[in-house]
Structure 1
């Protein structure tokens, strides 16, 4: 029977022949002298980001549509639990079902994957135009898919209209602009970090726990997430809630940019800084993405 060596036992062209002490002291000597975990992160994020950015239009559109529908499933669970228990915390945990559906169905939620496409661009595997295409199409298709699911909820559950309207008004009516901005930043950072945590494990149970905790935080604290909350607000408008299109657009125009800032500045930027040498090495051709993936394997 063939014995497959463990990751730690596999030879590495950058440390082969070194003693353990020399391997610990090597860090910082060249672009690839980083902890193995950071090499793995760079390889995985660049590879996955390039794949997502190079999707054809049909795949990109359908993936975004299903992202909105999957989140709609979480909103359905959230509304049911909120009306049954009155607890926002329990409703948030129920919403985690939608986030889990996103993972298991390989759908795409806006603000979810900031790190992957940006790392791919920095490593020279894609362009900023492709990033804009991914984000813009994902946002629009999330809203379209979510609106369709919201309409089904409104039609099928007339007894839940007040609960939906109350939740939507809570998102729209904030005590101050500063609070609104902070809740938007938190939502973008939380969703982005949650996704990065799930990428670090292959254990479906751990992924489910992360989804439940993320739902608890985002919904339980009433964070403002443009793609998620917008579906609730659209559903509330369909029920006849006192929310105008102008109210929604003003809210949306504030929340979306700060969701992006939260995900990009708080979570993505520090991670780019710590793997920047590897990303630049790939971009400059010092090592190919295939070689990086092979080292990470």
Structure 2
């Protein structure tokens, strides 16, 4: 039995690729195309509610942080926000780079659409988070000091190198966590993955532009001595390296695994409908 015959024997499809990888290619292309082709109102509202969902996680994080003074427990509590993102089908910046990128590689979207998706998601995440966290700051004055201390910790990094590394890790962790969630239909497993992601990102003090920015906004509203230029400098460093972490560490290696199939769809060697039939 030659190598090609052996590979085909491992799956039930005719594309010389494992069934699991074929299913991944189909699922990511279809869902990615749906996200890229959202109308403007749908895209903006989805991102806005993504910010609110993160704000809910931050609210839980602040409660546990003040009660226990434990970053680990606070991070697990933040997982509530990540679970809300999944259940509400909201969009968090860096949450899932693989879906739209696979759709573009397969010819089901354009670079302009992917830039629009990421830019609008980021801006609306911040707006939704600011709206929600403003209410939190007004309603819970006893938590102001905890909010300020947390934000200052994110802003005050020992060195630029550490700041960059923490940003890369945050982008990779959030992207991988949400990718793993898409690999299961078990709600209990999804909830555990959300808690683990929160544990790692918050517990280890990683820097995620959208998540940390909402906490920093809350601290500024609570009277922290953080200026807008200080925030913009921090933001300009964190966001690009969040993207690099999600893209280079997690997304691109996965893209290589299914690139041959995606290329076949783009060049017309096989239609997306036929690809779905093969996967099923």
Q: Same fold (TM over 0.5)?
A: yes
Match of residue 6 from structure 2:
24
TM-score for both structures, normalised by structure 2: 0.96
Query: Which of 127, 131, 136 lines up with 1:153 in the alignment?
Result: 136
Match of residue 4 from structure 1:
none
Instruction: Say which SS state the counterpart of residue 50 (structure 1) adopts.
Output: helix
Instruction: Say which SS state the counterpart of residue 269 (structure 1) adopts.
Output: helix
Please tell me whether residue 39 in structure 1 is matched to residue 6 in structure 2.
no
Q: Is the 8 A contact 2:8 2:16 kept in 1?
A: yes
Match of residue 54 from structure 1:
37
Query: Which of 89, 92, 101 lines up with 1:106 in the alignment?
Result: 89
Match of residue 260 from structure 1:
243
CA deviations on 1:128-177 (whole Å, 9 max, x unpaired) are: 00000000000000000000111011000000000000000000000000
C-alpha displacement of 1:25: 3.9
C-alpha displacement of 1:258: 0.1
Matches within 5 A, 1:27-176: 32-176=15-159
Match of residue 220 from structure 1:
203
C-alpha displacement of 1:22: 7.4
Please tell me whether residue 232 in structure 1 is matched to residue 215 in structure 2.
yes
Instruction: Work out the CA distance in 2 between the residues paired with 1:60 and 1:224.
Output: 25
Structure 2's unaligned 5+ residue stretches are none
Match of residue 183 from structure 2:
200
| Higher Rg of the two aligned structures | 1
Q: Is the 8 A contact 2:126 2:213 kept in 1?
A: yes
Matches within 5 A, 1:240-255: 240-255=223-238
Instruction: Work out the CA distance in 1 between the residues paired with 2:234 and 2:91.
Output: 23
C-alpha displacement of 1:295: 1.4
Query: When the two structures are aligned, how many residues end up with a matched partner?
Result: 277
Instruction: Work out the CA distance in 2 between the residues paired with 1:25 and 1:219.
Output: 42
Query: Aligned-residue CA RMSD in angstroms?
Result: 1.7
Query: Which of 260, 264, 270 lines up with 1:287 in the alignment?
Result: 270
Instruction: Work out the CA distance in 2 between the residues paired with 1:208 and 1:44.
Output: 21
Q: Is the 8 A contact 1:31 1:278 kept in 2?
A: no
Structure 1's unaligned 5+ residue stretches are 1-18
Q: Is the 8 A contact 1:32 1:277 kept in 2?
A: no
Instruction: Work out the CA distance in 1 between the residues paired with 2:192 and 2:5.
Output: 36
C-alpha displacement of 1:34: 1.0
CA deviations on 1:210-244 (whole Å, 9 max, x unpaired) are: 00000000000000000000000000000110100
Does the C-alpha gap of structure 1 residues 227 and 26 become closer, same or farther in structure 2, counting only changes over 3 Å?
Answer: same
TM-score for both structures, normalised by structure 1: 0.91
Instruction: Work out the CA distance in 2 between the residues paired with 1:70 and 1:117.
Output: 22
Instruction: Work out the CA distance in 1 between the residues paired with 2:177 and 2:199.
Output: 12
Query: Which of 255, 272, 275 lines up with 2:255 in the alignment?
Result: 272
